[in-house]
Amino acid sequence: METKFTNHLSVKRTISANYHYSFWAFFSITSLWVIYLTQHGMSLIQVGLLESIFHIASLLFEVPSGTLADHFPYKTVLILGRVMAIISGILFLSGAGFWWFALAFIIQAFSYNLNSGTNEALVFETLKADHLEKHYLKITANLNAIYELADMLGLIVAGFFVHWHFSLTYVIYIFTSLLAIGAILRMQEPHSQEKAEVESATSFAIIVKTSWQFLTNHPLVAGLMLFLACYEAIGTTYFFYFQTLMTQYHFTGWQISAVIVIAACFNIVGAKSAPTLEKHWSKHHLILGLVSIMIMGLLVSIVQNIVVLTICFVLIGLVTAVVEPIFNDFLQQQIPSNARATLLSVMSMMFSLVMIILFPIVGALITWVHFSSAFFLIGICLLLIGLGIIVSHFVKAN
């Protein structure tokens, strides 16, 4: 995973520290939060509402948090994000009702947004300062592999706590946030971003206006941002609601961990394969192929067999892991440096918008027609949209 930077020791140290930060920040010890909340008396409808509250808060915080990253040192913003994570962990530990958990989710959303776009921008600007942008795709692929590895290990640990002192997962979450802060302190702030802070004191309103103008003038970038948001939202929704399915089938702690390990291993392979895939296929063919695989997994979910559903779970997680580094690399090359974190935050804002709409709808569908039928219907919708786009292009071509 190591990337060699001859005569660029400060860059190497920063990237290495960033790898450590990314591992601890994404150590997903709390990713089984759906099970945690149901164990603490929350119904599936309440779980859906809490997720919506998280994304509404994320939507409200997204651009302001990106603005902080564009005007203040990246390291400061990342540290603040981990402090917010610690506070949310304490709230989850002491939570005793719906509104207490809602407050925890709101603070957790702020923590999430402070990292969103900021970490990627720090890495890119660090490389750009030494004219090493060509290494960004490899590093972002490494970062995504680290995210998947941390996610896998965190979920393994969480799985073993499901039926035994599950609250300890949030104690570990607080501890890993402290380790992440330690890694941030070892990074070096990019010089290019520090210079931008001195030269410009652009207001929040101007930055938002600039971002909007950039997206309207670059419809391809805006379209890819929306595509990525929808694609990741479907994969995320499938992952979280699959937790409820595992509890319905009475999975033990080690069975939950085993499923997560298998899925995470495929996700790591997928994230690491992104540069290779991009060398052999155009982005057009990659989009078509990845969307087709996603649709296939959703349609096959109609089979109410836990083995088949587990395979679909692994497959959908795999293609979701492949998508992010490919499109992240392309988008980074299109975005100007003085608004990089803000525009990446706008991309995450799109994800929040999609999740606010999608997650409650899927929760209601699962309540009414079961997990399998709910995602089958989503697959049908995507298939019809895809066919509509193909027919539209065919008509225009003729």
Contact 74, 190 (CB under 8 A): yes
Residue with tokens 């300890």: 168
The Cα–Cα gap between 325 and 291 comes to 16
CATH 1.20.1250.20 is the classification of domain 9-397: yes
Radius of gyration, alpha carbons of the chain: 21
pLDDT of residue 345: 64
State the pTM of this model.
Answer: 0.73
Give dist(CA 283, CA 60) in Å, integer: 32
At 129 the pLDDT is 73
Give me the average pLDDT of each 10-residue run along the chain (398 residues): 58 86 88 85 84 86 67 86 94 86 93 80 79 76 82 83 84 94 87 47 56 75 81 90 87 84 84 79 78 90 91 92 78 67 70 86 87 92 80 64
Taking residue 86's Cβ as centre, other Cβ atoms within 10 Å add up to 19
The domain limits of the chain are 9-397
